[in-house]
Amino acid sequence: MMAERAFGRYFDNPDDLFGWLNSAVFGTAAMDALNRSGVTALLLKGPATAEKLASESGLPQDRLRRLLDFLVAHEVIEGGADGLYAPTSRTQVMLDAQGLFANELISAMASSRLHEGLRDDRIPFEIFFGKPVFEYFAEQPQVAESFGKFMGWMTRRFERFVHTQHRFEPFGTVADIGGSMGDLLLSMLGEYPGTKGILFDLPETVDMARPAIAASPLADRVELVGGSFFEEVPSADLYTLKQILHDWHDDECEKILSNIRRAINPGGRLAVMDHILQDSPAPDEAQGTDVAMMVWDTGRERKLGEFKALFAATGFAIGRVTRNPSGHSVIEALPV
């Protein structure tokens, strides 16, 4: 399975190399444009002509037809001789992954400054956008919202794995630290009846999450808390950190973990949900995301031994590890 993921195989044939990369770059842009304009949602209501989709979305008909034909060619939607375009099961996936496509376009822009960042020892994201990522998000709420959708999509990829492969009972209160829009927290509360949850993130992020939490049937079990995990975190029995530690360098991670160690209830546990780099390089998500973190911020993906060192420095020890071959693994740590 790992060999099939190695993009180096495209280098064996120049035509394959061009086809793969060209389709990935422009396919991402095409799907993002159709998601943002509402065309994907319109298609999911039923077959329609390019003329109708153009009229309802406000896009120019000729160029819209060309984008639709591109997605027909790549089997994301269907198109017939009658001039109708129709959704497939993949069309729904395309809409569900709207945060992914938006995030990949931002990543591509920031990545265009990778060489400059390496040469000048600077963060590529900051070079392109003019400020650190979370400061940029604070000033660009629409971008922050798209990133929150991407985090939610990543959580949905992960939910089945964590709920079936790494059980957490018993616990009374779970605090999702840096919990974004609350997708993971709501999923945890739904999986473990009778528990309560705390969504902890920056105040502006908590405000964005508030409407979705309020609309959830689990809202009465959720407490929303705004703050900085570099300063303090609320007390809980179980802490979840999904895609948090990989955002930061070791000193920053130690601050986060130390604050959790001070606040954790007796008998509590910490669940870090992050990629784990294999001891030898492998063409998996962890290896690719490690480069992404180099582009976005000061963070990195880590090997299990590196997580162990972070925990040892902050009063934790690894209890159990559940590796995920297709994404985020779970490292459960206990206070010592």
Catalytic residues: 246
Question: Residue 58: CB partners within 8 Å, gap ≥ 6?
Answer: 37
Count of Cβ atoms closer than 10 Å to residue 143 Cβ: 17
Q: How far apart are the first and last CA of the chain?
A: 38
Which strand (E) or helix (H) includes residue 194? Answer: none
Distance CA 250, CA 301 (A): 11
Count of Cβ atoms closer than 10 Å to residue 177 Cβ: 24
Which strand (E) or helix (H) includes residue 86? Answer: strand 84-87
Q: One-letter amino acid identity for 209? A: A
Question: Residue 99: CB partners within 8 Å, gap ≥ 6?
Answer: 146, 147, 148, 149, 150, 151, 152, 153
